[in-house]
Chains A and B, each alone.
Chain A
Amino acid sequence: MTRTLQAQDVAFAYTPPLDVFTHVTAAVRSGEVTGLVGPNGSGKSTLLRVLAGLLRPREGKVLIDGRSSGHMSNRQRARILGFLPQLVNPVFSLSVFEVVCLGRYPHLGALGATQPHDRAVAERCLRDTETLDLRDRDFMALSGGERQRVLLASVLAQEPDLLLLDEPTSALDIHHQIEIFALLKRLAGEGYGIGVVTHDLNLAARFCNQLFLLSHRSTGLVAAGKPENVLTEALLSEAYDAPIRVCRHPLTGAPLITAEEPAEVTP
């Protein structure tokens, strides 16, 4: 089922009247990988929470398929929308498989008992994220990157149509970063809609269909559109308030982005 998650002209403030962003219009669509990029504190996580329905915007609307997402029950929304927070601190010691099974929650009955079908889904998601060999390990005893992949598996196990992922590759090695983004691209090809926050502009350039560039300097969007139109030296330098260089990747042809070293300060 094709879905569209839209933020229309939203503004949000944790402590009004101090807006994190205003007049942001963004969308996550089935079949596409949509990237949210921007410097630290620019409001990427906040925008993702607003899109996920966890925060109510001060102004503007969030729509799922054109209907206000506020009218849905949390459970209904959780079947459509999967959300992976930037930081997850579990307090209970569970096995990796149990953690992934927790993702089935919105599909389970009142008592939360998993059926064979739910466990099969969990197995498949472990395989997709290359974590099947961790299946019976204690989640607490995993490395940071292993945890991140298991958590991604648990959100996939939720089987939502749209995935909102907050920096799902921040702790991953160079190989697994590509693996996860390739997985996201494959999922988008299968019809999922994916919204992903990332600091890795090069991966974003390579794998995203749409980019939204946020900056606190403009309390909102600096640019939106195709990666090659957003990832330009002028726009990036404005958003990050620092000199950013863009060239072509010699192998992939995608934009290759680096920040310049700050100029030497002469006393």
Chain B
Amino acid sequence: MKYAYYPGCSLESGSAAYDKSVKAVIEQLGFGLDELDDWNCCGATEYFSQNELVATSVIARNLALVDDRHDQLVAPCAACFLNLKKTDKLLAEQPKIRGKVDQALAAGGLRYRPGRVQVRHLLDVLYTDIGEQAIKAKVVQPLTGLRVAPYYGCQIVRPLNGFDNPEYPMKLDEMFTWLGAEVVDYPVKAHCCGGHMTQISEENAFELIRRLLQSAADYRADLILCMCPMCQLNMDMYQGRVNNFFNTKFKLPIVYFTQMLGVALGIDMKKLGFGKELVAAEPVIRGKLEGQTAAATK
């Protein structure tokens, strides 16, 4: 198996912390991810409902760019992952669309046979392909004492993803038990964060975000782990506004799961993109982990 890497637009801008931490973690685990040359935007959540044919073609271009040496395409962003996966399936099952997309690709000198590339989410690759043994072997800073709330969002766990229970996913939960963290099994881990609802109806979006923060706080989580730039943005950037709106006092850091995985692997926090989040994560993490070390040395 050889992995091509599709970072997606967000990782180049708003969620540079995700990009940075993915790269650091991958390097630490001694694992190759080759970034696609000249990839383009996946159309995010909206494009499919605007113009299905164009959206499919634009996404198919990324699949077609995967060269013969790679058979896996890894996406860290939930929306990119879903779009790529959905497109591959659509092309396989709907010959009509496929015919047109083939034409569009041919105009750019490209070809794609559905199923040639396996689209994978980064979590799946880390969980399944690298696996418990290899990851545990590299843990130098167990996350003992840290209460993490894994948040999957609603896009990674659609039934077509094929690697976790779509109704109640557990793979990220499991991975963080490998790292020694106290994993919070809270009920809303796969509920929607509202996506772009903040741009359409703030009140509704705030309510969706509040539910997530509330449940994690009820279960006494120290922080929430994300796997999608959109989810991270909603819960982190809007946390202050949610607090104002509902008169609540949430102060939950929202970090990418790769950042915390990086901490466990002993990577310097600076290299993991910490500090970019609005609700600061570093003090919480350091407080918990150092408290733990202090207790241990006593």
Real complex partners, A and B?
A: no
The residues of B with any CB-CB pair to A shorter than 8 Å are none
